[in-house]
Structure 1
Amino acid sequence: MAGMSQLEAATGHEDGVRPVFGVPRDLAAEKLLGLRVDPALGRGEVLVVPQLLNSIGALWGGVGLAAAIGLCEEVLGRRALWASVQYISPIRCGERLELSLHAGRRGRGLTQAAVRGTVEGRQTLLVTGTFGGRAGNGPTADLADDFGRDLQLATAPVGVRTPAQCPEYTVRPEVPGSAAGLLERVERRWATPTTPELAGTPGNARTMLWLRSRVPLPLSAVVLAVLADFAPVAIGHARGVPTYGVSLDNSIRLAHISPDPGAGDDSSSPWILLDVRVEALVRGVAQLYARMFGEDGRLLATAGQSTLMRHA
Protein backbone atom coordinates (compact mmCIF):
# COMPACT_ATOMS: atom_id res chain seq x y z
CA MET A 1 0.00 0.00 0.00
CA ALA A 2 2.60 2.48 -1.16
CA GLY A 3 1.85 6.06 -0.25
CA MET A 4 -0.71 5.18 2.40
CA SER A 5 -0.32 5.91 6.09
CA GLN A 6 -0.69 3.16 8.69
CA LEU A 7 -4.05 4.61 9.73
CA GLU A 8 -5.27 4.64 6.12
CA ALA A 9 -4.23 1.00 5.73
CA ALA A 10 -6.02 0.06 8.93
CA THR A 11 -9.27 1.93 8.38
CA GLY A 12 -9.67 2.28 4.64
CA HIS A 13 -10.17 6.03 5.13
CA GLU A 14 -8.58 7.76 2.15
CA ASP A 15 -7.09 10.83 3.83
CA GLY A 16 -5.88 9.00 6.94
CA VAL A 17 -7.53 11.50 9.29
CA ARG A 18 -9.62 10.10 12.15
CA PRO A 19 -13.19 11.12 11.35
CA VAL A 20 -14.78 13.80 13.50
CA PHE A 21 -17.99 11.76 13.56
CA GLY A 22 -16.29 9.11 15.71
CA VAL A 23 -18.23 7.47 18.53
CA PRO A 24 -17.29 7.97 22.20
CA ARG A 25 -14.89 5.42 23.62
CA ASP A 26 -16.78 2.51 25.12
CA LEU A 27 -16.30 2.50 28.89
CA ALA A 28 -16.80 -1.27 29.00
CA ALA A 29 -13.85 -1.81 26.69
CA GLU A 30 -11.63 -0.25 29.32
CA LYS A 31 -13.38 -1.01 32.64
CA LEU A 32 -14.57 -4.54 31.90
CA LEU A 33 -11.98 -5.81 29.42
CA GLY A 34 -8.94 -3.63 30.06
CA LEU A 35 -8.66 -3.01 26.32
CA ARG A 36 -5.86 -0.67 25.28
CA VAL A 37 -6.08 0.86 21.80
CA ASP A 38 -3.55 2.59 19.57
CA PRO A 39 -5.85 4.38 17.09
CA ALA A 40 -2.96 5.54 14.91
CA LEU A 41 -1.88 1.96 14.21
CA GLY A 42 -5.30 0.30 14.31
CA ARG A 43 -4.14 -2.05 17.04
CA GLY A 44 -5.23 -3.05 20.51
CA GLU A 45 -4.32 -5.45 23.30
CA VAL A 46 -5.91 -7.18 26.26
CA LEU A 47 -3.98 -8.71 29.14
CA VAL A 48 -5.81 -11.88 30.10
CA VAL A 49 -6.38 -11.63 33.85
CA PRO A 50 -8.32 -14.12 36.04
CA GLN A 51 -11.45 -11.93 35.90
CA LEU A 52 -11.69 -12.55 32.12
CA LEU A 53 -11.57 -16.34 32.24
CA ASN A 54 -14.25 -18.94 31.71
CA SER A 55 -14.76 -21.86 34.06
CA ILE A 56 -12.05 -24.00 32.45
CA GLY A 57 -9.34 -21.36 32.72
CA ALA A 58 -9.34 -19.95 29.17
CA LEU A 59 -10.43 -16.51 27.94
CA TRP A 60 -14.22 -16.03 28.11
CA GLY A 61 -15.32 -16.39 24.49
CA GLY A 62 -17.41 -13.24 24.40
CA VAL A 63 -14.42 -11.21 25.57
CA GLY A 64 -12.52 -11.85 22.35
CA LEU A 65 -15.46 -10.70 20.24
CA ALA A 66 -16.16 -7.72 22.52
CA ALA A 67 -12.54 -6.55 22.44
CA ALA A 68 -12.48 -6.65 18.64
CA ILE A 69 -15.73 -4.66 18.51
CA GLY A 70 -14.31 -2.09 20.91
CA LEU A 71 -11.18 -1.74 18.79
CA CYS A 72 -13.13 -1.31 15.56
CA GLU A 73 -15.62 1.18 16.97
CA GLU A 74 -12.88 3.39 18.38
CA VAL A 75 -10.60 3.32 15.33
CA LEU A 76 -13.26 3.42 12.62
CA GLY A 77 -15.53 5.87 14.43
CA ARG A 78 -18.56 3.78 13.49
CA ARG A 79 -20.84 1.62 15.62
CA ALA A 80 -21.07 -2.13 15.20
CA LEU A 81 -23.95 -3.57 13.22
CA TRP A 82 -22.76 -7.16 13.11
CA ALA A 83 -19.67 -9.10 14.14
CA SER A 84 -18.59 -12.73 14.30
CA VAL A 85 -15.55 -14.44 15.77
CA GLN A 86 -13.94 -17.78 15.01
CA TYR A 87 -11.74 -19.15 17.80
CA ILE A 88 -8.62 -20.85 16.53
CA SER A 89 -6.65 -21.65 19.69
CA PRO A 90 -7.29 -21.13 23.43
CA ILE A 91 -5.97 -18.06 25.22
CA ARG A 92 -4.75 -18.60 28.78
CA CYS A 93 -4.38 -16.49 31.88
CA GLY A 94 -1.37 -14.18 31.81
CA GLU A 95 -1.17 -14.10 28.03
CA ARG A 96 -1.46 -10.87 26.08
CA LEU A 97 -3.99 -10.88 23.26
CA GLU A 98 -2.86 -8.57 20.47
CA LEU A 99 -5.47 -7.33 18.00
CA SER A 100 -4.83 -5.83 14.57
CA LEU A 101 -7.53 -4.18 12.48
CA HIS A 102 -7.79 -4.57 8.71
CA ALA A 103 -10.66 -2.72 7.07
CA GLY A 104 -12.08 -2.57 3.58
CA ARG A 105 -12.64 0.69 1.77
CA ARG A 106 -14.84 3.09 3.73
CA GLY A 107 -18.24 3.57 2.18
CA ARG A 108 -20.57 6.51 2.78
CA GLY A 109 -22.37 4.58 5.48
CA LEU A 110 -20.66 1.25 6.10
CA THR A 111 -17.24 -0.26 6.65
CA GLN A 112 -16.48 -3.98 6.60
CA ALA A 113 -13.57 -4.93 8.80
CA ALA A 114 -11.54 -7.88 10.02
CA VAL A 115 -9.55 -8.20 13.24
CA ARG A 116 -6.80 -10.75 13.72
CA GLY A 117 -5.96 -11.82 17.26
CA THR A 118 -2.58 -13.28 18.15
CA VAL A 119 -0.60 -14.28 21.24
CA GLU A 120 3.15 -14.07 20.69
CA GLY A 121 2.61 -14.54 16.97
CA ARG A 122 0.23 -17.50 17.38
CA GLN A 123 -3.11 -16.85 15.72
CA THR A 124 -5.89 -17.26 18.27
CA LEU A 125 -9.02 -15.70 16.77
CA LEU A 126 -10.39 -14.02 13.67
CA VAL A 127 -13.23 -11.48 13.75
CA THR A 128 -15.18 -10.03 10.85
CA GLY A 129 -17.87 -7.39 11.07
CA THR A 130 -19.79 -4.48 9.61
CA PHE A 131 -19.77 -1.02 11.16
CA GLY A 132 -21.80 2.11 10.48
CA GLY A 133 -25.26 2.61 9.05
CA ARG A 134 -27.36 5.42 7.66
CA ALA A 135 -28.83 7.29 10.60
CA GLY A 136 -26.39 8.80 13.10
CA ASN A 137 -23.47 6.56 12.18
CA GLY A 138 -21.08 8.68 10.20
CA PRO A 139 -21.11 11.24 7.39
CA THR A 140 -24.55 10.18 6.18
CA ALA A 141 -26.72 13.18 7.03
CA ASP A 142 -27.04 13.94 3.32
CA LEU A 143 -28.49 10.51 2.60
CA ALA A 144 -32.26 10.32 2.34
CA ASP A 145 -33.82 7.94 4.84
CA ASP A 146 -35.25 5.67 2.16
CA PHE A 147 -36.51 3.10 4.63
CA GLY A 148 -38.20 5.32 7.19
CA ARG A 149 -37.69 5.07 10.90
CA ASP A 150 -36.12 2.10 12.65
CA LEU A 151 -38.58 -0.69 13.35
CA GLN A 152 -38.58 -3.53 15.86
CA LEU A 153 -40.46 -6.52 14.48
CA ALA A 154 -39.48 -9.04 17.16
CA THR A 155 -41.43 -8.93 20.40
CA ALA A 156 -40.20 -9.62 23.90
CA PRO A 157 -41.48 -12.79 25.61
CA VAL A 158 -44.79 -12.32 27.38
CA GLY A 159 -45.24 -12.96 31.09
CA VAL A 160 -41.56 -12.99 32.01
CA ARG A 161 -40.94 -12.12 35.64
CA THR A 162 -38.92 -9.03 36.47
CA PRO A 163 -35.35 -9.47 37.71
CA ALA A 164 -36.48 -8.69 41.27
CA GLN A 165 -38.93 -11.61 41.09
CA CYS A 166 -36.41 -14.14 39.82
CA PRO A 167 -34.03 -16.29 41.88
CA GLU A 168 -30.38 -15.42 41.75
CA TYR A 169 -28.07 -18.08 40.44
CA THR A 170 -24.99 -17.76 42.61
CA VAL A 171 -21.54 -18.02 41.13
CA ARG A 172 -20.60 -21.65 40.83
CA PRO A 173 -17.75 -22.85 38.63
CA GLU A 174 -19.04 -25.24 35.98
CA VAL A 175 -16.05 -27.53 36.44
CA PRO A 176 -15.02 -28.77 39.91
CA GLY A 177 -11.85 -27.08 41.10
CA SER A 178 -12.00 -24.29 38.53
CA ALA A 179 -12.15 -20.55 39.18
CA ALA A 180 -15.28 -18.49 38.74
CA GLY A 181 -13.51 -15.97 36.49
CA LEU A 182 -15.86 -13.65 34.62
CA LEU A 183 -18.89 -15.29 36.29
CA GLU A 184 -18.09 -13.28 39.42
CA ARG A 185 -18.54 -10.04 37.49
CA VAL A 186 -22.06 -10.73 36.19
CA GLU A 187 -25.27 -10.97 38.22
CA ARG A 188 -27.66 -13.68 36.96
CA ARG A 189 -31.33 -14.21 37.72
CA TRP A 190 -33.27 -17.07 36.23
CA ALA A 191 -36.56 -16.27 34.50
CA THR A 192 -37.14 -19.79 33.16
CA PRO A 193 -36.77 -22.50 34.20
CA THR A 194 -38.01 -21.21 37.53
CA THR A 195 -35.44 -23.31 39.37
CA PRO A 196 -32.02 -23.72 37.79
CA GLU A 197 -31.25 -27.08 39.42
CA LEU A 198 -30.60 -29.96 37.01
CA ALA A 199 -32.40 -33.15 38.04
CA GLY A 200 -31.70 -35.35 35.01
CA THR A 201 -34.91 -34.53 33.13
CA PRO A 202 -34.43 -32.84 29.73
CA GLY A 203 -36.02 -29.40 29.42
CA ASN A 204 -37.73 -27.71 26.51
CA ALA A 205 -34.51 -26.36 24.97
CA ARG A 206 -35.35 -22.78 25.96
CA THR A 207 -33.78 -20.84 28.81
CA MET A 208 -34.27 -17.21 29.78
CA LEU A 209 -32.18 -15.33 32.28
CA TRP A 210 -31.63 -11.77 33.34
CA LEU A 211 -28.04 -10.54 33.27
CA ARG A 212 -26.22 -7.39 34.28
CA SER A 213 -22.64 -6.44 34.90
CA ARG A 214 -21.69 -5.97 38.54
CA VAL A 215 -19.33 -3.27 37.26
CA PRO A 216 -21.56 -0.22 36.62
CA LEU A 217 -21.58 0.21 32.85
CA PRO A 218 -23.93 1.76 30.30
CA LEU A 219 -25.35 -0.39 27.54
CA SER A 220 -23.07 -0.98 24.55
CA ALA A 221 -22.12 -3.51 21.88
CA VAL A 222 -19.12 -4.52 24.00
CA VAL A 223 -21.31 -5.34 27.01
CA LEU A 224 -23.82 -7.26 24.89
CA ALA A 225 -21.08 -9.33 23.22
CA VAL A 226 -19.78 -10.41 26.64
CA LEU A 227 -23.23 -11.23 28.04
CA ALA A 228 -24.37 -13.08 24.90
CA ASP A 229 -21.76 -15.71 25.70
CA PHE A 230 -23.90 -16.88 28.62
CA ALA A 231 -26.05 -18.68 26.03
CA PRO A 232 -24.38 -22.08 26.65
CA VAL A 233 -26.05 -22.28 30.07
CA ALA A 234 -29.13 -23.41 28.13
CA ILE A 235 -27.40 -26.63 27.06
CA GLY A 236 -27.47 -28.18 30.52
CA HIS A 237 -31.15 -27.31 30.97
CA ALA A 238 -32.01 -28.75 27.57
CA ARG A 239 -30.19 -32.01 28.38
CA GLY A 240 -31.14 -32.09 32.06
CA VAL A 241 -27.60 -32.81 33.19
CA PRO A 242 -24.66 -30.52 34.01
CA THR A 243 -22.94 -29.56 30.76
CA TYR A 244 -20.47 -26.83 29.97
CA GLY A 245 -19.49 -25.51 26.59
CA VAL A 246 -16.38 -24.22 24.84
CA SER A 247 -17.19 -21.57 22.24
CA LEU A 248 -16.11 -22.41 18.71
CA ASP A 249 -17.64 -19.25 17.25
CA ASN A 250 -19.80 -16.36 18.43
CA SER A 251 -21.81 -13.85 16.44
CA ILE A 252 -23.91 -10.83 17.35
CA ARG A 253 -26.20 -8.51 15.41
CA LEU A 254 -26.95 -5.21 17.10
CA ALA A 255 -30.42 -3.70 17.12
CA HIS A 256 -31.40 -0.81 19.43
CA ILE A 257 -28.89 0.26 22.08
CA SER A 258 -28.08 3.49 23.92
CA PRO A 259 -26.94 6.23 21.53
CA ASP A 260 -23.99 7.02 23.78
CA PRO A 261 -22.03 4.13 25.33
CA GLY A 262 -19.87 6.67 27.15
CA ALA A 263 -22.78 7.92 29.25
CA GLY A 264 -25.11 6.28 31.71
CA ASP A 265 -26.05 5.67 35.32
CA ASP A 266 -22.89 5.28 37.39
CA SER A 267 -24.72 3.43 40.17
CA SER A 268 -25.71 0.25 38.32
CA SER A 269 -25.80 -1.48 34.95
CA PRO A 270 -29.05 -2.16 33.09
CA TRP A 271 -30.67 -5.60 33.21
CA ILE A 272 -30.70 -7.57 29.96
CA LEU A 273 -32.94 -10.55 29.22
CA LEU A 274 -31.13 -13.33 27.35
CA ASP A 275 -33.67 -15.59 25.64
CA VAL A 276 -31.81 -18.70 24.47
CA ARG A 277 -32.89 -21.62 22.31
CA VAL A 278 -30.83 -24.76 21.83
CA GLU A 279 -31.58 -25.49 18.19
CA ALA A 280 -29.54 -28.66 17.61
CA LEU A 281 -26.98 -30.97 19.20
CA VAL A 282 -24.79 -32.22 16.38
CA ARG A 283 -21.69 -34.42 16.71
CA GLY A 284 -20.92 -33.11 20.18
CA VAL A 285 -21.58 -29.48 19.23
CA ALA A 286 -24.56 -27.41 20.38
CA GLN A 287 -26.02 -24.85 17.99
CA LEU A 288 -27.52 -21.92 19.90
CA TYR A 289 -29.64 -18.89 19.04
CA ALA A 290 -30.45 -16.04 21.41
CA ARG A 291 -32.30 -12.74 21.53
CA MET A 292 -31.41 -9.97 23.96
CA PHE A 293 -34.05 -7.56 25.30
CA GLY A 294 -34.03 -4.59 27.65
CA GLU A 295 -36.45 -4.34 30.57
CA ASP A 296 -38.60 -2.06 28.42
CA GLY A 297 -38.98 -4.74 25.74
CA ARG A 298 -36.55 -3.24 23.26
CA LEU A 299 -34.71 -5.76 21.12
CA LEU A 300 -31.05 -5.03 21.79
CA ALA A 301 -29.36 -7.75 19.76
CA THR A 302 -29.57 -11.26 18.39
CA ALA A 303 -26.73 -13.69 18.91
CA GLY A 304 -25.67 -17.19 17.99
CA GLN A 305 -22.85 -19.61 18.51
CA SER A 306 -21.55 -23.11 18.09
CA THR A 307 -20.39 -24.66 21.36
CA LEU A 308 -18.33 -27.79 21.93
CA MET A 309 -20.02 -29.69 24.74
CA ARG A 310 -18.19 -31.13 27.74
CA HIS A 311 -19.48 -33.06 30.76
CA ALA A 312 -19.22 -31.13 34.00
Structure 2
Amino acid sequence: MSVAGYPFWRVVPGNRQSEYILPVTLPATAGHEGAPHVMGGVALAAAIDAMQLDSELPLLWANIQFLSPTQHAEELVVACEACGGGQAVAQYAGELSVNGRPTHRVSAALGAREPAEQQLFAQMPELPGPEASTPVELDYGAQGNLTDQIEYRVALEDNSRGIHAIWTRSRAGFALDAGWIAIISDFFLGAHPRSRGGSSLDATLRFVQGAEPGWMLSVTELAAFDRGVVHGSARHFAEDGRLLAISSQSGVLPRIARGDLIA
Protein backbone atom coordinates (compact mmCIF):
# COMPACT_ATOMS: atom_id res chain seq x y z
CA MET A 1 0.00 0.00 0.00
CA SER A 2 1.24 3.48 -0.90
CA VAL A 3 -0.30 6.63 0.58
CA ALA A 4 0.09 10.09 -0.96
CA GLY A 5 1.23 12.75 1.48
CA TYR A 6 -0.10 15.61 -0.64
CA PRO A 7 -3.59 16.55 -1.92
CA PHE A 8 -3.35 14.85 -5.30
CA TRP A 9 -6.33 16.78 -6.72
CA ARG A 10 -4.71 20.22 -6.35
CA VAL A 11 -4.06 22.18 -9.54
CA VAL A 12 -1.32 24.61 -10.53
CA PRO A 13 -1.63 27.68 -12.78
CA GLY A 14 -1.43 27.00 -16.51
CA ASN A 15 -0.07 29.09 -19.37
CA ARG A 16 -3.25 31.08 -20.03
CA GLN A 17 -5.48 33.24 -17.88
CA SER A 18 -7.98 31.16 -15.87
CA GLU A 19 -6.24 27.95 -16.95
CA TYR A 20 -5.04 25.41 -14.42
CA ILE A 21 -3.23 22.08 -14.69
CA LEU A 22 -3.72 18.89 -12.71
CA PRO A 23 -0.54 16.79 -12.97
CA VAL A 24 -1.96 13.27 -12.98
CA THR A 25 -0.29 11.04 -10.40
CA LEU A 26 -1.10 7.45 -9.47
CA PRO A 27 -3.26 8.34 -6.40
CA ALA A 28 -5.63 10.27 -8.70
CA THR A 29 -6.34 7.19 -10.81
CA ALA A 30 -8.29 3.94 -10.82
CA GLY A 31 -8.39 1.07 -13.27
CA HIS A 32 -6.46 -2.02 -14.14
CA GLU A 33 -2.68 -2.17 -14.10
CA GLY A 34 -1.42 -0.60 -17.31
CA ALA A 35 -4.67 1.26 -18.06
CA PRO A 36 -5.18 3.87 -15.34
CA HIS A 37 -7.79 6.60 -15.74
CA VAL A 38 -8.47 9.71 -13.71
CA MET A 39 -11.27 8.92 -11.26
CA GLY A 40 -14.29 11.12 -11.98
CA GLY A 41 -14.39 12.45 -8.43
CA VAL A 42 -10.77 13.57 -8.74
CA ALA A 43 -11.63 15.45 -11.94
CA LEU A 44 -14.48 17.18 -10.11
CA ALA A 45 -12.20 17.98 -7.17
CA ALA A 46 -9.62 19.47 -9.55
CA ALA A 47 -12.27 21.61 -11.23
CA ILE A 48 -13.48 22.83 -7.82
CA ASP A 49 -9.92 23.69 -6.82
CA ALA A 50 -9.38 25.62 -10.06
CA MET A 51 -12.60 27.60 -9.74
CA GLN A 52 -11.96 28.42 -6.09
CA LEU A 53 -8.48 29.65 -6.98
CA ASP A 54 -9.77 31.66 -9.93
CA SER A 55 -12.67 33.27 -8.07
CA GLU A 56 -11.09 33.42 -4.60
CA LEU A 57 -14.49 32.27 -3.33
CA PRO A 58 -15.69 29.08 -1.59
CA LEU A 59 -17.73 26.49 -3.46
CA LEU A 60 -21.52 26.36 -3.17
CA TRP A 61 -22.25 23.66 -5.76
CA ALA A 62 -20.69 22.07 -8.81
CA ASN A 63 -21.85 19.70 -11.53
CA ILE A 64 -19.63 17.71 -13.87
CA GLN A 65 -20.44 15.80 -17.04
CA PHE A 66 -18.16 12.95 -18.04
CA LEU A 67 -17.58 13.28 -21.78
CA SER A 68 -14.73 10.98 -22.77
CA PRO A 69 -12.08 8.65 -21.27
CA THR A 70 -8.91 9.78 -19.51
CA GLN A 71 -6.78 6.65 -19.80
CA HIS A 72 -3.04 7.29 -19.60
CA ALA A 73 -3.52 11.05 -19.14
CA GLU A 74 -0.41 12.79 -17.87
CA GLU A 75 -2.24 16.01 -17.06
CA LEU A 76 -5.73 17.46 -17.08
CA VAL A 77 -6.13 21.04 -18.28
CA VAL A 78 -8.90 22.97 -16.51
CA ALA A 79 -10.09 26.09 -18.36
CA CYS A 80 -12.66 28.06 -16.37
CA GLU A 81 -14.49 31.36 -16.68
CA ALA A 82 -16.86 33.53 -14.68
CA CYS A 83 -20.10 33.62 -16.64
CA GLY A 84 -22.52 35.44 -14.34
CA GLY A 85 -23.55 36.13 -10.78
CA GLY A 86 -23.80 39.16 -8.54
CA GLN A 87 -22.11 40.79 -5.56
CA ALA A 88 -22.17 37.69 -3.35
CA VAL A 89 -22.16 34.73 -5.75
CA ALA A 90 -20.20 34.01 -8.92
CA GLN A 91 -21.45 31.59 -11.56
CA TYR A 92 -18.70 29.62 -13.30
CA ALA A 93 -18.29 27.31 -16.27
CA GLY A 94 -15.34 25.16 -17.13
CA GLU A 95 -13.95 22.49 -19.41
CA LEU A 96 -11.37 19.82 -18.68
CA SER A 97 -9.29 18.36 -21.48
CA VAL A 98 -6.49 15.91 -22.23
CA ASN A 99 -4.19 16.85 -25.12
CA GLY A 100 -6.85 19.24 -26.42
CA ARG A 101 -9.65 16.66 -26.27
CA PRO A 102 -12.57 17.65 -24.00
CA THR A 103 -13.10 15.09 -21.24
CA HIS A 104 -15.38 16.91 -18.77
CA ARG A 105 -17.73 19.89 -18.67
CA VAL A 106 -18.36 21.70 -15.38
CA SER A 107 -20.82 24.27 -14.03
CA ALA A 108 -20.55 25.77 -10.55
CA ALA A 109 -21.51 28.59 -8.20
CA LEU A 110 -19.18 30.02 -5.59
CA GLY A 111 -19.48 32.60 -2.84
CA ALA A 112 -21.51 33.39 0.28
CA ARG A 113 -24.09 35.90 1.40
CA GLU A 114 -23.18 37.29 4.81
CA PRO A 115 -24.27 37.61 7.53
CA ALA A 116 -26.15 34.34 7.56
CA GLU A 117 -27.17 32.04 10.42
CA GLN A 118 -26.65 28.35 9.77
CA GLN A 119 -29.56 25.95 10.21
CA LEU A 120 -29.12 22.28 9.38
CA PHE A 121 -32.28 20.26 8.70
CA ALA A 122 -30.75 16.97 7.58
CA GLN A 123 -29.94 14.65 10.47
CA MET A 124 -27.38 11.86 10.45
CA PRO A 125 -29.21 8.51 10.73
CA GLU A 126 -28.56 6.18 13.63
CA LEU A 127 -26.05 3.69 12.26
CA PRO A 128 -23.01 1.82 13.60
CA GLY A 129 -19.99 4.07 13.98
CA PRO A 130 -16.74 3.47 12.09
CA GLU A 131 -15.28 1.21 14.78
CA ALA A 132 -18.39 -1.02 14.69
CA SER A 133 -18.67 -1.10 10.88
CA THR A 134 -17.23 -3.68 8.48
CA PRO A 135 -13.81 -2.86 6.97
CA VAL A 136 -13.58 -3.42 3.22
CA GLU A 137 -10.38 -3.44 1.18
CA LEU A 138 -11.11 -1.68 -2.09
CA ASP A 139 -9.42 -3.05 -5.19
CA TYR A 140 -9.82 -0.84 -8.25
CA GLY A 141 -6.46 -1.48 -9.88
CA ALA A 142 -2.81 -0.76 -9.34
CA GLN A 143 -1.15 -0.52 -5.95
CA GLY A 144 -0.87 3.10 -4.85
CA ASN A 145 -3.90 4.31 -6.79
CA LEU A 146 -6.94 6.10 -5.36
CA THR A 147 -8.27 3.16 -3.38
CA ASP A 148 -5.07 2.96 -1.35
CA GLN A 149 -5.74 6.50 -0.14
CA ILE A 150 -9.03 5.66 1.60
CA GLU A 151 -10.10 3.70 4.65
CA TYR A 152 -13.55 2.28 3.85
CA ARG A 153 -16.06 0.66 6.22
CA VAL A 154 -19.64 -0.43 5.52
CA ALA A 155 -22.23 0.62 8.13
CA LEU A 156 -25.33 -0.49 6.18
CA GLU A 157 -26.05 -2.34 2.94
CA ASP A 158 -29.75 -2.82 2.15
CA ASN A 159 -29.90 -3.79 -1.52
CA SER A 160 -33.67 -4.29 -1.53
CA ARG A 161 -34.19 -0.63 -0.55
CA GLY A 162 -31.19 0.72 -2.46
CA ILE A 163 -29.58 2.17 0.67
CA HIS A 164 -25.86 1.98 1.33
CA ALA A 165 -23.92 3.73 4.11
CA ILE A 166 -20.14 3.87 4.36
CA TRP A 167 -17.59 5.45 6.63
CA THR A 168 -14.48 6.73 4.88
CA ARG A 169 -11.32 8.44 6.05
CA SER A 170 -8.20 9.73 4.31
CA ARG A 171 -5.21 7.56 5.19
CA ALA A 172 -3.03 10.68 4.85
CA GLY A 173 -5.20 12.75 7.20
CA PHE A 174 -6.63 15.17 4.64
CA ALA A 175 -9.37 17.48 5.87
CA LEU A 176 -12.97 16.96 4.78
CA ASP A 177 -13.01 19.86 2.32
CA ALA A 178 -15.00 20.26 -0.89
CA GLY A 179 -12.37 18.46 -2.97
CA TRP A 180 -12.09 15.41 -0.72
CA ILE A 181 -15.88 15.08 -0.42
CA ALA A 182 -16.19 15.32 -4.21
CA ILE A 183 -13.80 12.38 -4.49
CA ILE A 184 -15.70 10.24 -1.99
CA SER A 185 -19.06 11.12 -3.55
CA ASP A 186 -17.92 9.43 -6.76
CA PHE A 187 -18.06 6.02 -5.08
CA PHE A 188 -21.81 6.24 -5.77
CA LEU A 189 -21.85 3.30 -8.20
CA GLY A 190 -20.50 1.04 -5.47
CA ALA A 191 -23.77 1.36 -3.55
CA HIS A 192 -25.42 -1.69 -5.14
CA PRO A 193 -24.23 -4.97 -6.74
CA ARG A 194 -26.08 -4.11 -9.97
CA SER A 195 -24.33 -0.77 -10.38
CA ARG A 196 -20.77 -1.80 -9.47
CA GLY A 197 -18.60 -1.65 -12.55
CA GLY A 198 -20.85 0.90 -14.27
CA SER A 199 -19.87 4.26 -15.78
CA SER A 200 -20.83 7.63 -14.35
CA LEU A 201 -22.61 10.11 -16.61
CA ASP A 202 -22.53 13.11 -14.29
CA ALA A 203 -22.08 14.14 -10.67
CA THR A 204 -23.31 17.06 -8.60
CA LEU A 205 -21.93 18.22 -5.25
CA ARG A 206 -23.76 20.73 -3.03
CA PHE A 207 -21.24 21.81 -0.43
CA VAL A 208 -22.44 22.97 2.99
CA GLN A 209 -19.30 23.05 5.11
CA GLY A 210 -15.99 21.35 5.67
CA ALA A 211 -14.62 19.58 8.72
CA GLU A 212 -11.36 18.61 10.33
CA PRO A 213 -9.66 15.36 9.28
CA GLY A 214 -11.53 12.26 10.38
CA TRP A 215 -14.26 9.82 9.47
CA MET A 216 -17.15 10.81 7.18
CA LEU A 217 -20.44 8.94 6.83
CA SER A 218 -21.89 8.85 3.31
CA VAL A 219 -25.48 7.59 3.06
CA THR A 220 -26.49 6.79 -0.52
CA GLU A 221 -30.13 6.28 -1.51
CA LEU A 222 -30.68 4.90 -4.98
CA ALA A 223 -33.89 6.16 -6.56
CA ALA A 224 -34.27 4.00 -9.66
CA PHE A 225 -32.77 1.69 -12.24
CA ASP A 226 -34.34 2.66 -15.57
CA ARG A 227 -33.31 2.27 -19.23
CA GLY A 228 -29.99 0.82 -18.14
CA VAL A 229 -29.19 3.82 -15.94
CA VAL A 230 -29.10 4.26 -12.16
CA HIS A 231 -30.13 7.51 -10.44
CA GLY A 232 -29.58 8.41 -6.81
CA SER A 233 -28.28 10.81 -4.20
CA ALA A 234 -26.22 10.85 -1.00
CA ARG A 235 -25.74 12.87 2.14
CA HIS A 236 -22.35 13.22 3.78
CA PHE A 237 -21.89 13.77 7.53
CA ALA A 238 -18.98 14.44 9.86
CA GLU A 239 -18.56 11.93 12.68
CA ASP A 240 -20.18 14.39 15.10
CA GLY A 241 -23.35 14.46 12.95
CA ARG A 242 -22.90 17.71 11.06
CA LEU A 243 -24.13 17.73 7.47
CA LEU A 244 -21.19 18.46 5.16
CA ALA A 245 -22.58 18.05 1.65
CA ILE A 246 -25.24 16.55 -0.58
CA SER A 247 -24.41 14.78 -3.82
CA SER A 248 -26.26 13.11 -6.67
CA GLN A 249 -25.32 11.11 -9.72
CA SER A 250 -26.53 9.12 -12.72
CA GLY A 251 -24.58 6.23 -14.17
CA VAL A 252 -24.86 3.62 -16.91
CA LEU A 253 -25.30 0.14 -15.46
CA PRO A 254 -22.80 -2.52 -16.52
CA ARG A 255 -24.01 -5.10 -19.01
CA ILE A 256 -23.01 -7.76 -16.50
CA ALA A 257 -23.15 -6.59 -12.90
CA ARG A 258 -19.92 -7.07 -10.95
CA GLY A 259 -21.98 -8.65 -8.18
CA ASP A 260 -23.22 -11.32 -10.64
CA LEU A 261 -19.67 -12.08 -11.72
CA ILE A 262 -18.61 -12.56 -8.11
CA ALA A 263 -21.62 -14.76 -7.41
Q: Output the TM-score relative to the length of structure 2.
A: 0.87
Structure-to-structure mapping, 1:155-304, within 5 angstroms: 155-158=123-126, 160-173=127-140, 178-179=141-142, 181-193=145-157, 202-236=159-193, 239=194, 243-258=196-211, 269-304=213-248
RMSD between aligned alpha carbons? 2.1
Flag structure 1 segments of 5+ consecutive residues without an equivalent: 1-27, 136-144, 195-201, 259-263
1:82-138 per-residue CA deviation (whole Å, 9 max, x = no partner) reads 000001101113432101111124521000001111111111111000000113xxx
Matched length: 248
Flag structure 2 segments of 5+ consecutive residues without an equivalent: 259-263
Structure 1 residue 129 corresponds to structure 2 residue 108: yes
Identical-pair percentage = 29
* Higher alpha-carbon deviation: 42-51 or 270-279: 42-51
- Contact map agreement 2:91 2:110 (CA 8 A) in 1: yes
- Contact map agreement 2:8 2:25 (CA 8 A) in 1: no
Q: Which letter maps to 1:156?
A: M
- Contact map agreement 2:41 2:182 (CA 8 A) in 1: yes
Kindly name which structure, 1 or 2, has the bigger radius of gyration based on alpha carbons. 1
Give me the whole-angstrom Cα distance separating, in 1, the residues matched to 2:76 and 2:121. 38
Q: Which of 95, 112, 118 is the equivalent residue of 1:116? A: 95
Query: Higher strand proportion, which one?
Result: 2
Q: Which letter maps to 1:110?
A: V
**Residues 285 and 54 (structure 1 numbering): CA distance in 2 closer, same or farther, change over 3 Å?**
farther
Structure-to-structure mapping, 1:30-69, within 5 angstroms: 31-38=7-14, 41-55=17-31, 57-69=36-48
Q: Which letter maps to 1:111?
A: A
State the Cα distance separating 1:52 from its structure 2 match.
1.6
State the Cα distance separating 1:40 from its structure 2 match.
7.6
- Contact map agreement 2:84 2:92 (CA 8 A) in 1: no
Q: Which letter maps to 1:155?
A: Q
- Contact map agreement 1:49 1:94 (CA 8 A) in 2: no
Q: Which letter maps to 1:255?
A: V
Q: Which letter maps to 1:43?
A: E
- Contact map agreement 2:220 2:234 (CA 8 A) in 1: yes
* Higher alpha-carbon deviation: 104-113 or 296-305: 104-113
State the Cα distance separating 1:35 from its structure 2 match.
2.1
**Residues 188 and 134 (structure 1 numbering): CA distance in 2 closer, same or farther, change over 3 Å?**
same
- Contact map agreement 2:206 2:245 (CA 8 A) in 1: yes
- Contact map agreement 1:48 1:92 (CA 8 A) in 2: no
Q: Output the TM-score relative to the length of structure 1.
A: 0.74
**Residues 298 and 39 (structure 1 numbering): CA distance in 2 closer, same or farther, change over 3 Å?**
farther
